[in-house]
A and B are shown apart, each in its own frame.
Chain A
Amino acid sequence: MKARGWLLLVLGALLVTPWLLPDYALEVAIQALILALFATAFNLVFAETGLLSFGHAAFFGAGAYTTALLLQRAGWPYLLTLPAAVVVAGLLALVIGFFSVRTSRIYFTMLTLAFAQLVWAVVHKWYSFTGGDNGITGLHPGALWGDARALYYLALVLFALGLAFVWRLHHAPFGYALRAIRDNQARAEAVGLSPFGYLLAAFTLSGALAGAAGFLQVAWQRSAFPDFLYWTKSAEAIIAAILGGAEAIFGPALGSLVFVELGAFVQSRTEHWPLVLGLVLLALVLFLPQGLAGLGGRRARD
């Protein structure tokens, strides 16, 4: 009951937020929601299977470019590009996952990194189709989605759906199977689970969800850039997930909120945000191994 009370409180706060914040803070809040969706998507693979993907920027970027290209070339209404973005990102994840989930540990990380960089290199240079390193700019997602409050609620709905989806998977037999494979692959196989199918399904769903975050990013920035697919974008999701606590279902979202809000705060005072972030992460790794969620968890357990 207590957990439900907290959930309602957070939900209520998230719903009234756009009416309390000034314009700039609202833009920051939207960015936090987008990263929260992206990091939650990444964490679906990371937390449930233990595989650290360094290639999720490719799925984020695939979603973003699908939306951007459909807006620019085909004049689709913004919302209709969502299913397309999710499907394209999911298909890309299916292909990359098909080759990657068989490998283990560091090789999985390196292979997802290599695939994502390959996609980045193509997008970065394919001027006639993706605009190359100029990206696709000057997009108009429509009058409604140009309004920051409307975009905030859209991002909130998608994030909530994404989180609910991940929560549902976590408690479904599918989630139990993934964790069984993570903890002991040989034993999982012995009881008849096929690791390849489960891991590929999880990776594909995670990629599709990351595509939805890319879809939102396009409306927020009214542009798509190759940077969306660069490896440092994947690192953002990883940082947010571990900062918040990858073991908690809301950990990546919490980490995203802190990451984006702290970034906006520091950037308004100094241009040395990367230095501050680096020091925060060093402190986190050395002194707070469970992430921010671990703070509350430890207290609750005491």
Chain B
Amino acid sequence: MDPSFVILQFLTGLAYASSLFLLAVGLSLIFGALGIVNFAHGSFYMLGAYLLYWVLRGNPEGLWWGLVVVAALGFAIGATTERLLLRPVYNRPEHYQILLTYALLLVIEDGVKLLFGAAYKSLGPPASLAYPVWVFGAPFPAYYFVQIALALVVAGGLWFFLQRTRTGTLVRAATQDREMLEALGVNVPRLLTVVFALGIALATLGGAATLPMQTVSPGIAVEAVISAFIVVVVGGLGSVWGALLGAFLIGEIQAFGVLVLPEFAIAFVYLLMVVVLLVRPWGLLGRPPAVRT
């Protein structure tokens, strides 16, 4: 294989991994702190793309502030969802939480069809980014670098938030022992609202950021949520760095898998998920569950 082709393929995988990371990291945070598997996560991702289209009225020039507005809207929608729908089911068996988020998936998917129509939507990158960058003599879309940079910025921001701020420290504590945190006088319900809203904001941002390169339809939600599951299961449920590693692995396996066995690239990804669950169920970078007493 020609090395410049390999590098291009690697970069393409990296761009895909970037949107996977934005999609999956919120799912992972939400599972870690709230203990809820959010089947509607891919739906918020899809919703983000539609919100961006709506905010910009189909004109890609205002992309930057459009992304900021979508993330803010995502945060508000996430906070509202958590307060109204999730809070009543925290103490119920898992399958109610799964059913609830699955119901949300249905409502969002069909609601988007109702509001925006079932037709595919596309935007294209803004003119300043609508040119190829030449990498070793081959063209590569400039916008992919924006996506990669965005994922790195978010990863860095999350690291700073979780490791260096008081709220972030409390979030990490919530993933370990919610009861203890409550006993210490922390307003845990408000903390969980913030975590859920943050996770949803990241998912909508991720979905919005793909719109300049991809057409979207309401149907991408059910595929996106499965991709997000694979990423967090491989990386480790509840782990931010796991989501980064998982997204990287899945993105590159997809990018190079299509070269080796184009038909079955997606099967490799599921195989990886199965193997990780069998060998290291808590994921590559996750923590093994503490022994319950």
Tell me the A residues contacting B by CB distance below 8 Å.
46, 52, 99, 103, 105-107, 109-111, 113-115, 117-118, 121-122, 125-127, 231-232, 235, 238-239, 242, 246, 272-275, 277-282, 284-286, 289
Is B267 engaged at the interface, CB distance under 8 Å to the other chain?
yes
Cβ 8 A contact of B106, one of A110, A238, A278, A285? A278
CB pair A114–B273 under 8 Å, yes or no, is yes
CB pair A275–B100 under 8 Å, yes or no, is no
Q: What B residues does A114 contact at CB under 8 A?
A: 230, 233, 270, 273-274, 277
Q: List 22 A-B contacts (CB under 8 A).
A: A52-B98, A107-B277, A110-B229, A110-B233, A111-B281, A114-B273, A115-B274, A118-B270, A121-B266, A121-B267, A121-B270, A125-B263, A127-B263, A231-B226, A232-B222, A239-B99, A242-B99, A274-B110, A278-B106, A278-B107, A279-B103, A286-B88
CB pair B113–A106 under 8 Å, yes or no, is no
CB pair A281–B270 under 8 Å, yes or no, is no
Q: A258: shortest Cβ distance to chain B, in Å?
A: 15
- Chain B residue at minimum C-beta to C-beta distance from A279: B107
Is B278 engaged at the interface, CB distance under 8 Å to the other chain?
yes
Cβ 8 A contact of B96, one of A107, A109, A125, A289? A289
CB pair A277–B106 under 8 Å, yes or no, is yes
- Chain B residue at minimum C-beta to C-beta distance from A116: B270
A-B contacts besides A107-B281, A285-B103, 11 pairs, CB < 8 Å:
A103-B277, A105-B94, A109-B37, A110-B277, A122-B264, A242-B95, A272-B113, A275-B107, A278-B103, A278-B107, A286-B89
CB pair B281–A103 under 8 Å, yes or no, is yes
Question: What per-residue 1/0 map shows which CB atoms of B80-107 lie under 8 Å from chain A?
Answer: 0000010011001011101110111111
Is B62 engaged at the interface, CB distance under 8 Å to the other chain?
no
- Known contacts A99-B278, A114-B277, A121-B264; A106 and B99 CB within 8 A of each other: no
Size bracket of the B interface:
35 or more
Q: B263: shortest Cβ distance to chain A, in Å?
A: 4
Q: What A residues does B113 contact at CB under 8 A?
A: 272
- Known contacts A106-B37, A125-B264; A281 and B99 CB within 8 A of each other: yes
Q: What A residues does B71 contact at CB under 8 A?
A: none
Tell me the complex Cα distance, A114–B111, Å. Answer: 28
- Chain B residue at minimum C-beta to C-beta distance from A117: B270
Is B252 engaged at the interface, CB distance under 8 Å to the other chain?
no
- Chain B residue at minimum C-beta to C-beta distance from A120: B270
Cβ 8 A contact of B95, one of A232, A238, A280? A238
CB pair A286–B109 under 8 Å, yes or no, is no
Tell me the complex Cα distance, A110–B37, Å. Answer: 10
Give chain B interface residues in 111-132, CB to chain A under 8 Å.
111, 113-114
Q: What A residues does B95 contact at CB under 8 A?
A: 46, 52, 238, 242, 246
Q: What B residues does A113 contact at CB under 8 A?
A: 226, 229
Q: What A residues does B226 contact at CB under 8 A?
A: 113, 117, 231
CB pair B110–A118 under 8 Å, yes or no, is no
- Known contacts A275-B110, A275-B111; A235 and B102 CB within 8 A of each other: yes
CB pair A282–B85 under 8 Å, yes or no, is yes
Q: What B residues does A99 contact at CB under 8 A?
A: 274, 278
CB pair A239–B102 under 8 Å, yes or no, is yes
CB pair B106–A274 under 8 Å, yes or no, is yes
CB pair A106–B237 under 8 Å, yes or no, is yes
Q: What B residues does A278 contact at CB under 8 A?
A: 103-107, 110
Q: A184: shortest Cβ distance to chain B, in Å?
A: 13
CB pair A286–B85 under 8 Å, yes or no, is yes
Q: What B residues does A110 contact at CB under 8 A?
A: 229, 233, 273, 277
Is B271 engaged at the interface, CB distance under 8 Å to the other chain?
yes
CB pair B274–A285 under 8 Å, yes or no, is no
- Chain B residue at minimum C-beta to C-beta distance from A281: B103
Tell me the complex Cα distance, A122–B270, Å. Answer: 10
Q: What B residues does A109 contact at CB under 8 A?
A: 37, 94, 98
- Chain A residue at minimum C-beta to C-beta distance from B233: A110
- Chain A residue at minimum C-beta to C-beta distance from B92: A289
Q: A93: shortest Cβ distance to chain B, in Å?
A: 15
Q: What B residues does A118 contact at CB under 8 A?
A: 267, 270-271, 273-274
Q: B134: shortest Cβ distance to chain A, in Å?
A: 34
Tell me the complex Cα distance, A122–B113, Å. Answer: 30
Tell me the complex Cα distance, A239–B92, Å. Answer: 16
Q: A252: shortest Cβ distance to chain B, in Å?
A: 13
CB pair B267–A281 under 8 Å, yes or no, is no
Q: What B residues does A280 contact at CB under 8 A?
A: 103
Q: What A residues does B263 contact at CB under 8 A?
A: 125-127
Q: B265: shortest Cβ distance to chain A, in Å?
A: 9
Q: What A residues does B229 contact at CB under 8 A?
A: 110, 113
Give chain B interface residues in 55-88, CB to chain A under 8 Å.
85, 88
Q: B249: shortest Cβ distance to chain A, in Å?
A: 15
Q: B95: shortest Cβ distance to chain A, in Å?
A: 5
Tell me the complex Cα distance, A71–B226, Å. Answer: 33
CB pair A125–B92 under 8 Å, yes or no, is no
Q: Which 7 A-B pairs have the closest CB atoms?
A: A278-B106, A281-B103, A278-B107, A275-B110, A118-B270, A121-B267, A274-B110
